[in-house]
């Protein structure tokens, strides 16, 4: 997915920067030839023991006269090349270099031993099928894509932190790059729309929301953004907030005006002030609008997220009102 046709990015269609390396993949960047090599008794320590401290190393013990070895080798090499660097393969001819297999008690070949952190961890014998080799690698190195998933999640947290800190452009660029690697990531899509909203580009955010696949649109992160866009659309009908403040100065118990002002403040990003107005309505009249202030505050929590400081603070105060 290139920057020129990224449906999320717009002006933020650049490639991932820093340590991120999706698309090519940090492991996949290693040429396939670098994943497979022959070794000797003298090279075993460097090629296997030391290398296995970086990623698991499979050692294929074989011999030229071994028919099953010839059957296993193509399948083993194919699966290792497809593993994108999660493991490396080192081949040792036991006829030319019998000392290592003798020390390890290898009595039958083909035998494949996995080394992790300088020690033999697991292994198998015989010419097993590709599916069994893949299962073995997944067991040793973890399922394919696990590292990328963790990296993407970390990048999302970084982008969310940038947005919270006010670096909207930086957050948008990172969200766009994540979406290039994982176009159906709901959290990243929600983050990108949140950036657009923050930049005042609500029309683009709404357009992006409407273009999402149905399975993405139903996820919690996207639903929160949809609700946020609804809130923005609603407050456009409320008029000038200064006029509402004037009404409240004349009549502090004008709860409808206070509720509208709270919604406007929320859209402006003044979350603590918005919560303060709703909590004040609750203190004065829980029956107003059928407990509407509480329901509105819970809606704010949904868009703010459970970890937002405004949510945490307002939820604590809400509890004290409800259970006092």
| pLDDT score for 73 | 94
**Residues of the chain above pLDDT 70, percent:** 88
What average pLDDT score do residues 57-73 get? Answer: 94
DSSP class of residue 47 equals: I
**Which of 35, 48, 69, 113 is the catalytic position?**
69
What is d(CA 220, CA 234) in angstroms, rounded to the nearest whole number?
21
| pLDDT score for 139 | 87
| pLDDT score for 143 | 67
pLDDT band at residue 145 using 50, 70 and 90 as cut-offs: low
| pLDDT score for 239 | 74
| pLDDT score for 94 | 94
The DSSP-derived string for 29-77 is TS-GGGGEEE--TTTHIIIIIIGGGTS-EEEEEE-TT-HHHHHHHHHHH
Q: Is 195 a catalytic residue?
A: no
| pLDDT score for 28 | 32
What is d(CA 58, CA 52) in angstroms, rounded to the nearest whole number?
9
Q: Kindly tell me if the per-residue pLDDT of 26 is higher than 50.
A: no
Identify which has the larger pLDDT, 317 or 307: 317
What's this model's pTM, rounded to 2 decimal places?
0.50
User: Which CATH number applies to 241-322?
Assistant: 1.25.40.10
- CATH fold label, 32-144: Glutaredoxin (3.40.30)
Q: Kindly tell me if the per-residue pLDDT of 74 is higher than 90.
A: yes
Q: Kindly tell me if the per-residue pLDDT of 20 is higher than 60.
A: no
Give 39-55 pLDDT, tens digit per residue: 999 999 999 999 998 88
Question: Burial of 319 by CB count in 10 Å (0-12 exposed, 13-18 middle, 19+ buried)?
Answer: exposed
pLDDT band at residue 146 using 50, 70 and 90 as cut-offs: low
The architecture that CATH gives domain 3-17+147-235 is Alpha Horseshoe (1.25)
| pLDDT score for 68 | 94
What's the whole-number average pLDDT of the chain? 84
pLDDT band at residue 230 using 50, 70 and 90 as cut-offs: confident
Q: CATH 1.25.40.10 in the chain, residues?
A: 241-322
What average pLDDT score do residues 218-240 get? Answer: 86
């Amino acid at each position: 997915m290139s920057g020129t046709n990224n449906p999320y990015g717009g002006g933020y269609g650049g490639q991932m920067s820093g340590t991120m390396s999706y698309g090519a993949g940090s492991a996949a960047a290693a040429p396939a030839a670098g994943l497979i090599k022959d070794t000797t008794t003298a090279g075993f320590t460097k090629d296997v023991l030391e290398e296995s401290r970086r990623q698991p190393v499979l050692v294929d013990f074989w011999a030229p006269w071994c028919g099953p070895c010839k059957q296993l080798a193509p399948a083993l090499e194919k699966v290792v090349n497809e593993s994108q660097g999660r493991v490396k393969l080192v081949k040792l001819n036991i006829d030319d270099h019998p000392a290592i297999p003798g020390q390890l008690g290898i009595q039958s070949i083909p035998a494949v031993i996995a080394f992790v952190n300088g020690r033999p961890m697991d292994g198998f014998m015989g010419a097993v099928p590709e599916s069994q080799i893949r299962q073995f690698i997944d067991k040793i190195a973890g399922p394919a894509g696990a590292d990328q998933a963790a990296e993407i999640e970390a990048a999302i947290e970084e982008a969310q932190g940038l947005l919270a800190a006010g670096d909207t452009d930086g957050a948008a660029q990172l969200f766009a790059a994540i979406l290039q690697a994982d176009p159906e990531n709901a959290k990243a899509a929600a983050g990108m729309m949140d950036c657009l909203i923050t930049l005042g580009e609500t029309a683009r955010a709404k357009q992006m929301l409407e273009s999402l696949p149905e399975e993405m649109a139903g996820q919690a992160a996207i639903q929160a953004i949809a609700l946020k866009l609804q809130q923005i659309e609603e407050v456009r009908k409320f008029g000038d907030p200064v006029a509402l403040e004037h009404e409240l100065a004349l009549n502090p118990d004008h709860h409808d005006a206070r509720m509208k002002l709270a919604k406007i403040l929320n859209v402006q990003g003044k979350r603590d002030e918005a919560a303060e107005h709703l909590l004040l309505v609750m203190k004065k009249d829980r029956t107003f609008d059928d407990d509407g202030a509480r329901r509105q505050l819970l809606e704010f929590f949904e868009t703010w997220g459970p970890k937002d400081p405004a949510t945490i603070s307002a939820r604590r105060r809400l509890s004290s009102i409800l259970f006092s």
